[in-house]
Amino acid sequence: MAQATNKSREAPLRRRKTDLDLSVEGSDAQMAPQRQVLVRTKGHAHGTVTRVLSPNDIGELIKPFVFLDHFDFTPAGGAMFPMHPHSGIATLTVLLSGSMRYEDTTGAQGELAAGSLEWLQAGGGVWHDASPIGTDRFQGYQLWVALPKEIENSPPQSQYLPPDEVLRVGPARVVLGHYGDAVSPIRAPAGLSLLQVQLADGEHWRYRPPAGHTVAWAHTHRGTLIAGRERLHNELAVFSESDASIDFTADGDTDFIVASAVKHPHDLVLGYYSVHTGIEALQKGEAQIARIGERLRSLRRIT
């Protein structure tokens, strides 16, 4: 949906136990190590889309998460994201409200309702597009994930999940990876987790990342979230690298996403719509993108 480009205060915490009994009241709260906020940003608005992070800034800090857009607008007709390519990454779209029409060059096409997920593992090269349907508020995220070296040029694959296939544990929908006993149906590489969380005013929730997930961040899109002694509102927070848990408390009804991962060990080598681990892999991906593009031109799908 987008291209790779080169470039507080503390408040009293009102706590209440969730159905997972994740309260931190008492001595456990004093003893449990906590991650602190290292970086905060609201990103940069580009029309109806806020570019929260990209590969040349915070994406380098939290790789494999290399790019994040938050979109929120009322559609006025026409394609929002016309047919465009990717390679070396997977794109994840979390549709918070509205509905959209999609198509990709693996042959998949259809429509998604609010609460749905789109996972497009571009691998060696793919093209796709997406357009809002109707005029209801259209809100969501698109995330780029750098793929492991062994699959960055593999055949593309896509998954499109309706809302009822996204599993829930307590206040969290399990978008990627696993949490508690729930495993996301999305066939993402190992070492990734992303949850979509809703907390009521005053509710407390603790995220315990899987072992080895030293990279962690959260982004709020409704309400105010207290995390690492910081108050977050419509912004991204990157947490210190460790194996420790992260406590969240809602000041007002709050919606946010939180993600964690094993650190991506490779450099980020950027193309126009691609991210790879090396020049040779990038050239291979862009060559495949060009071949698919020629076929699309012959079909008059692109100019």
pLDDT in the model for residue 178: 95
Extended beta strands in 188-265, E state: 192-199, 204-207, 215-227, 230-232, 236-239, 246-261
Contact partners, residue 139, CB within 8 Å, separation at least 6: 71, 72, 73, 95, 96, 97, 98, 221
**Domains of the chain and CATH, by start:** 27-100+116-298 (2.60.120.10)
Q: Average the pLDDT over each of 53-62, 76-85, 86-95, 142-151 and give the range with the smallest value.
A: 76-85
Positive or negative CA dihedral for 261, 264, 268, 270? negative
Residues 91, 147 contacting (CB under 8 angstroms): no
Q: What is the pLDDT of residue 31?
A: 53
And the tokens for 186? 């999305």
Q: pTM for this one?
A: 0.88
Cβ atoms of residues 120 and 112 within 8 Å: no
Query: Tens digits of per-residue pLDDT, 282-292?
Result: 999 999 999 99
Statement: residue 3 has pLDDT above 70: no
Question: What is the tens place of the pLDDT at every residue in 222-276?
Answer: 999 999 889 999 999 999 999 899 999 999 999 999 999 999 999 999 999 999 9
- The DSSP code for 190 is S
* 130, amino acid identity: A
Tokens 């949906």: give the residue. 1
Average pLDDT over residues 59-86: 90
